[in-house]
Amino acid sequence: MKRVISIIFLATFLSLLLMSCGSSSANTASDSPAQYIENKGSDTIVNLALAWAEKYQTDNPEVRISVTGGGSGTGIAALINGTVDIANASRKIKDEEVAEAQSKGITPVEHIIARDAIAVIVNPENPVRKLTLQQIADIYSGKITNWAGVGGEDRPIVKLSRETNSGTHVYFLETVLRLGEKENKTLFSTDTLLLPSSEGIISEVRTNPNAIGYDGLGYVPDDLVMIAIAEEAGGNYVLPSIATVNDKSYPIARDLYMYTNGEATGILKEYLDWLLNTEAQQIVAELGFVPVK
């Protein structure tokens, strides 16, 4: 008798559990029609994507756009796993990622939605104001370890970088440390501090006159000093700005991407088209990025 009752009890409990699961999934299905856009990826783009999503949702209240960061790799991985509609990336998708996507039946399509420049930043107390790409590469690879080596005071150099999974890290490695050369295998020196967020880099540069860091132009606050950069010794030293990125004279600039699965259709296409119009690109400029048009 005891056993029978306990089985009935268990069965009731299980069926209640199943019922609650069933009804909750039914609910989410009815609440999220095709008007729902899931957008995830690069931390560089996340503020921009949020601003866009907010503006677009006020104008089109029937569309819900959710934006999350996590890094370019995370976004692309989510696109490959089919959990997002748009992956934000601050780097081009890698060949192996395309291959992995295709093996899962997903065709990533690229959209350039804005441009970005990486600014090299120092503390205002540091008198150094200009560097060549080669000098920055030597600093980050550990060949120059004192500011005196690049015309500054006799201070140790503390190198700050984003974590290795950041698109900005990879871009900086390829463009600056390796000077864009494919066979160049220069690495960050091991004593480079790898900080998990832009905020970490900015707060350390703000308080530490020994520090050198890099970050997206859109994230550099006014109280830090940006370094003018020349592509080679004797060349023109150029400060990063919207104008210098657009005329391609500033050497550390890149395109920002959104990836979709296949050519965008319907609501997704409308949204991506809207991103390139004047109103949306105005937001790009307001956030310190560089408009594509």
Partner 1 sequence: MEKSLNWREFVITRAIKASGYSAIVFVLLIFFFLMREGLPAIGEVEAGNLFSLRWYPIEEMFGILPLISGSIIVTIGAALIAVPFGIGTAVYISEIAPRWMREILKPLVELLGGLPSVVLGFLGILVVSPNLRILLDLPTGLTAFTGSLLLGGIAVPTVVSVAEDALDAVPRAYREGAWALGATKWQTIWRVTLPAAKSGVLTAIMLGVGRAIGETMTVMMVTGNAPVLATRLGSLFSPVRTMTATIAAEMGEVANGSVHYHTLFLIGIILFLISLTVNVLASSVVFRTKKRAERILS
CB of 165 to partner 1, least distance (A): 4
Best CA proximity match to 142, nearest among 179, 187, 189, 177: 189
Q: Which is closer to partner 1, CB of 158 or CB of 287?
A: 158
CB of 73 to partner 1, least distance (A): 4
Q: Which is closer to partner 1, CB of 71 or CB of 291?
A: 71
Q: Which is closer to partner 1, CB of 98 or CB of 170?
A: 170
CB of 191 to partner 1, least distance (A): 5
Q: Which is closer to partner 1, CB of 6 or CB of 236?
A: 6
Q: Which is closer to partner 1, CB of 209 or CB of 287?
A: 209
> What single-letter DSSP state applies at residue 93?
P
Best CA proximity match to 282, nearest among 57, 66, 70, 52: 52
> Can you tell me whether residue 169 is helix, strand or coil?
helix
Q: Which residues bind partner 1 (CB under 8 A)?
A: 2, 5-6, 9, 70-71, 73-74, 77, 100, 155-158, 163-165, 170, 187-188, 190-196, 200, 203-204, 207-208, 210-211
User: Phi/psi of residue 4, each to 5°?
Assistant: -60, -45
Per the structure block, which two tokens stand in for 262?
């296949």
Q: How many CA atoms lie within 13 A of 233 on its CB side?
A: 4
CB of 196 to partner 1, least distance (A): 5
Q: Which is closer to partner 1, CB of 150 or CB of 290?
A: 150
CB of 197 to partner 1, least distance (A): 9
> Can you tell me whether residue 67 is helix, strand or coil?
strand
Q: Which is closer to partner 1, CB of 75 or CB of 240?
A: 75
Give the contacts of 237 (CB within 8 A, at least 6 positions apart).
130, 228, 229, 230
- Amino acid found at 133: L
Beta-bridge partner residues of 120:
214
CB of 214 to partner 1, least distance (A): 16
- Amino acid found at 276: L
Sign of the C-alpha dihedral computed for residues 200, 206, 209 and 214 taken in this order: positive
Best CA proximity match to 35, nearest among 264, 267, 259, 269: 267
CB atoms within 10 A of CB 169: 19
The CA distance from 196 to 57, in Å, is 30
Look at strands 211-216 and 108-122 and give their pairing: antiparallel
CB of 277 to partner 1, least distance (A): 32
CB of 188 to partner 1, least distance (A): 7
